[in-house]
Every structure is written in structure tokens, then in C-alpha cells.
Amino acid sequence: MKKILLFGFLVLTAACQSATATLAPESTPTASTQTPPAPATVTPTIIPTGVLSPTPSPRFFTENFDVVPLDWSIIQTGNEASPQIKSEGGTLTFELNTPYTWTYAIYDMHDYKDTRMDTSFESRGASPESIGLVCRYSEQNGWYEFNVSTDGTYNILHGQWMAQSIASYIPIVNDTTEYLKRGETQYELGLMCQQNTLWLYINQKLFRKVDVTRYGLTEGKVGLAVSSFENIPVISAFDWVKISEP
């Protein structure tokens, strides 16, 4: 797992090995009965370039990305290359220049049991790629992802760190919907995690509810997800993100 902490203009770079990610076959939707080893602790190398604000970080808020936001971490699997992440024109822009790379921006300051997350984004690079939302993220227990792609598909994944630098993804849902159009590059996405159900929204329209009881995640952090496949570069610009009560 490669991890970079973003605190305003502070850049924290984890000293760790390159990461690889594996996608479990869709025909095997159940998790292994073996308990995976806990990820090793990674101590970041801190390069101080500014001063943190003493203001407590909010639990529910809207971030408009006028600057690189405080208190988020960038976590990457797939290869060594660091993503380019910057605030420009009121957007948080991710640029991935290597294929098969999974990148997450995780809000570090709070864990949530039930919460809703919404965002507006634009895809500006190669296609197809995956852009989405994360809830109940834990390095020990895993996380849920709701991703959409410009090829017109969406998926729900259960991600989990199997060991340091190795992530496994179990497909829970892989489908199409009339609310996703092939080649469309701008959407609003919403993901509500409430008890054992994921509520999926596209352009503020609830289009599906997914029971995730069998995977057992009860709380964790929230975040954004951007992934590249064979085509690069991937450039994804988030206009805003809102974390709210369900």
C-alpha cells in the first residue's frame, strides 16, 4: 500500500514498497474463510512545508476544493508511480499516468457507522476508467466502493488489504443502468451506507439498494476513488464532495 497524507500543502510520503491489486473473479462472490493477515504498520516520511490549522475537523461538511483539502490521505495500489493531485479552478484533480492503478482519497479525521457521501465529477482523460465513492474504509477490515465508468457500467466492490501492498476486490454488483450513458463524462454520484444496505444514487436519483449483510462492515472512513485500466492518462476532476447524515 502506498500512502501519501495531504494536510493543506503538507505532503506526507509513505516509505513502502510498490503495491499490486487483484480483482477476485465475479463468479466467486464470497469472501475467503481464511482470516487475512493484518496489514503491516507503515510509518510515513513527513516533509513539512506549512502549518496545520488548529481548528477541529468537521464531521459533516461540504468541501469545494478551493485548495488541496486538509486531513485527507492518498492511498495507491498498482505500481510505484505517484498520482498527480492538485487543486485547480475549484476542483480536486487526479491525474494517473500509469495503467492499472487504484487511487483513493480517504478523509482521515472521523469514522462513520451510517453516513451519506455525494460528489460531482468530470472525466477529462482516457476512457474507460473508474470513478467512485468509498465508505466504511478500514485498513484492517476492508471497505465498500461504488464505482462508475465511462463505458456505461457500474460496480460495488468489497476491497480488503490481504497483506502489506496487496489488495483483493470481491465484486458484489457489476451491472448497467439507464442512468449511465456510454461516453458521458459528468455525473453526480451518491452513496449512503445505512446499517446493512448501500443506497446508490446517480444525478440525485436513487436507482438501487444493495444488501451487504454478508460482508459485515459496520463502520469506517469515507473517501473518493479513481482507477485507471489499460488506457492512460486518466484525469478526473471533483467539483465538490459532501459528507452528511443519512
pLDDT at 164: 65
Short-list 100, 41, 83, 38, CA closest to 236: 83
Can you give the pLDDT of all 246 residues of the chain as single tens digits? 655 544 333 333 333 333 444 444 443 343 333 333 333 333 322 223 233 444 678 899 999 998 888 789 988 887 766 788 898 889 999 999 989 888 999 999 999 999 999 999 999 876 778 999 999 999 999 999 999 998 899 999 999 988 766 789 999 999 999 999 988 889 999 999 999 999 999 999 999 999 999 999 999 999 999 999 888 899 999 999 999 999
- β-strand pairing of 166-176 with 20-23: parallel
- And the C-alpha cell for 49? 512545508
Whether this prediction's pTM lies above 0.85 is answered by no
Choices 2.60.120.560, 3.50.50.60, 3.40.1360.10, 3.40.50.300: CATH for 83-244: 2.60.120.560
Cα(71)–Cα(73) distance, integer angstroms: 7
- And the C-alpha cell for 23? 480483482
- Interacting residues of 102 by C-beta distance below 8 A, sequence separation 6+: 21, 76, 77, 78, 167, 225, 227
pLDDT at 78: 73
